[in-house]
Amino acid sequence: MTTARPVALLDLDGTLMDSASGIVASVRAAYAAVGLPAPDEATMRSFAGPPIAWSFTTHGVPVDLVDAAITGYGEHFGREGVWDTRVFDGIPEALVTLREAGVLLVVATAKPLRWAEPICAETGLTPLLDHVVGAPDDESETKGEIIGRALTWVRGTVGDTGYRAVMLGDREHDVHGAAEHGLPCLGALWGYGGAEELLAAGAVEVLASPADVPAAVLARVTGRGPRTLG
């Protein structure tokens, strides 16, 4: 009897790493580039995670200025903001535990791949991961589309064994994107979304700390323990 491969899809910003300060600085630069006042600090922090075009249009940038705002953001972020980040305490240990348990670890992030891969390498995450899937350079994809490409890679990797997967993320976009593919999503409360946002979106469980990740993921992808697939 073939056993399905356990898989964890992982958001990056706000889930594996705290990148808020670099993102906020780049968002501020983007608004300045298009001649608009920047939102308050809390709003700019909310840019961490969702597709950047959605964030700009949601927070006051007219449609005809969105491309220029994205360009301004990208210029600042690629030069400075991308490196202003750190891995959350406890995340490396959680990833090691999951890999030792045989879980395939795949990042699915709305951060463009041209930034996601270098920052994973710089912060030491790359050796702990199996693959990184990021947004295209034009950042035109939704989180659901990014998760879809991650699952395509998973299917090509596990072959005929099949897989049993769960998403881990800190924003509603992670929950909705996972749901598009019939996957449950665990909410990361150490990120930028909060319990109310995550539960309203349909997260099957919210986790208080990275230390809670291994048990919650394993219960979902192995079918063992008190939690079952939602």
Nearest CA to 169 out of 110, 117, 215 is that of 110
**Closest among 161, 164, 155 to 131, alpha carbons compared:** 155
| Beta strand extents in 56-140 (DSSP E only) | 86-87, 104-112, 131-135
The answer to whether residues 104 and 158 touch, using CB atoms and an 8 Å cutoff, is yes
Residue 64: active-site member: no
The single residue of 11, 18, 174, 212 carrying the catalytic annotation is: 11
CA atoms in the 13 A half-sphere facing the CB of 170:
28
Distance between CA atoms of residues 103 and 94, nearest Å: 11
Q: Which residues are catalytic?
A: 11
